[in-house]
């Protein structure tokens, strides 16, 4: 895909909060500006429409690559402010909590087997198929 072509030369070991910890997360990642390709521009438009959010409020497009045997341990993409009441990095410049509104996953390639994202509270569900978009 166009996105994979743009992302591949930029991939680096994945980090969490700026630190590489291969026991927790062993994938590769990069962040792309939505203007990097026509497909990213389309994904930007679709994401904004789906979330009903202004495009300017969306994070850069994060591309992750998992090769066989790579993983990212179970984690949350949000936090409860009551768990971290005095952590400044969780607040924006005005002092308000900076919470990710949503995490949207676009699967660019299907693995030969396995590799699904697991949502324990979702009670199963369909596994995305390749080339649906």
pLDDT digits (tens, 9 = 90+) for 1-59: 789 999 999 999 988 777 777 777 888 999 999 988 999 999 999 999 999 999 998 88
Q: Does residue 16 fall inside a structural domain?
A: yes
Question: Which residue did the predictor score with more confidence, 103 or 41?
Answer: 41
Q: Does residue 84 fall inside a structural domain?
A: no
Q: Does residue 56 fall inside a structural domain?
A: yes
pLDDT one-digit tens code per residue, 49-80 = 999 999 998 889 999 988 888 878 777 777 77
CA angle 91, 97, 103 (to 5 degrees): 105
Q: Of all helices (H) and strands (E), which one includes residue 5? A: helix 2-7
Instruction: Show the domain range for 23.
Output: 2-71+105-122
Q: Does residue 100 fall inside a structural domain?
A: no
Q: What's residue 41's pLDDT?
A: 94
Q: Does residue 93 fall inside a structural domain?
A: no
Q: How many domains does the chain fold into?
A: 1
Q: What's residue 48's pLDDT?
A: 95
pTM of the model: 0.73
SS3 state of residue 61: strand
The model's confidence at residue 124, banded by pLDDT at 50, 70 and 90, is low
**Residue 97 above 70 pLDDT?**
yes
Q: Does residue 131 fall inside a structural domain?
A: no
Partnered with residue 105 across adjacent β-strands are none
Q: What is the DSSP string of 12-56?
A: EE--BTTB--TTTB--EEEEE-GGG-HHHHHHHHHHHHHHT--GG
Q: What's residue 32's pLDDT?
A: 93
């Amino acid at each position: 895909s166009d996105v994979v072509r743009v992302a591949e030369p930029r991939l680096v070991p994945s980090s969490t909060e700026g630190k590489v910890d291969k026991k927790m997360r062993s994938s590769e990642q990069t962040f792309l500006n939505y203007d990097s390709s026509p497909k990213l521009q389309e994904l930007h438009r679709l994401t904004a429409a789906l979330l009903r959010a202004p495009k300017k409020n969306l994070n850069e497009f994060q591309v992750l690559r998992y090769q066989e045997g790579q993983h990212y341990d179970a984690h949350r993409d949000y936090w409860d402010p009551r768990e971290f009441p005095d952590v400044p990095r969780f607040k924006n410049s005005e002092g308000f909590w900076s919470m990710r509104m949503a995490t949207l996953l676009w699967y660019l390639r299907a693995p030969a087997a396995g590799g699904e994202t697991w949502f324990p509270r979702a009670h199963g569900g369909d596994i995305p198929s390749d080339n649906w978009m």
